Chain A
């Protein structure tokens, strides 16, 4: 069984440019998460989806970040425009449902904004 797939693995962009990350969760997983992880820190939640509905986006900086999960499967996270402080690893995870189940993580996308 394939795990959570993220692309690209690495991305270097200039500040003020747009960038998009893609996530393909494990088949059958209803819950999808996007986390941000700074160096030496734990993951911090950006947004959580239950199927195609964003049920928690309270930590998503909506002035520049947006996300979508079409048809309740794949998801895209976008930043426009990117700032230097956005340099981090963006992790996607999925699980069967929120509560009482483990989350499976992708390898992450390491973003460097120069």
Chain B
């Protein structure tokens, strides 16, 4: 079963625009992580946010976490064509396994 659920399933934007994708989950978590997957490749870790953190930044990425709403968002600013990929959130449930959502497919058009 999948704990996280990303929204939207697919997103298409123009280069230079910002992209926002959301993740909702069901049970309490230790931390939440975002991964990127380019077509035909493995997953690449982007950012980890712990349950006691509310916001985290890494370059053009901004992640927020609202544990009261059991949701997280990933914002990519000033998007580039190279950002075209699928983005997954994964929840870490206190020593259990990373549980991935179905992902958001982002297309950045030049």
* A contact set with B: CB distance below 8 Å: 4, 33, 35, 40-45, 48, 56, 91, 93, 98-108, 110
- Which stretch in B13-21, B73-81, B95-103 binds the other chain? B95-103
Q: How far apart are the CA atoms of A2 and B94 in the complex, in Å?
A: 29
Beta-carbon contact of B41 and A45 below 8 Å = no
A44 CA to B99 CA in the complex, in Å? 7
* Known A44-B2, A102-B48; 8 more pairs at CB < 8 Å: A4-B42, A41-B102, A43-B100, A93-B43, A98-B97, A103-B90, A103-B98, A105-B43
Q: How far apart sit A114 and B35, CA to CA, in the bound complex (Å)? A: 31
A91, B101: Cβ atoms under 8 Å?
A: no
With a CB–CB cut-off of 8 A, which chain B residues contact A91?
Answer: 42-43
Q: How far is the CA of A48 from the CA of B96 in the complex (A)?
A: 10
Q: Is the CB of A56 within 8 A of B103?
A: no
Q: Is B64 an interface residue (CB 8 A)?
A: no
Cβ contact of A42, chosen from B30, B44, B48, B100, cutoff 8 A = B100
In the docked arrangement, what's the CA distance between A106 and B42, Å? 6
| A99 cross-chain contacts in B, Cβ below 8 A | 30, 92, 94-95
Contacting A at CB under 8 A, from B50-104, are 50, 88, 90, 92, 94-103
- Is residue B45 within 8 Å, beta carbon to beta carbon, of the partner chain? yes
Task: Give the CA-CA distance A76 to B42 in the complex, in Å.
Answer: 18
By Cβ-Cβ distance, the 8 closest A-B pairs, closest first, are A42-B100, A105-B42, A102-B45, A105-B43, A107-B42, A99-B95, A45-B97, A43-B100
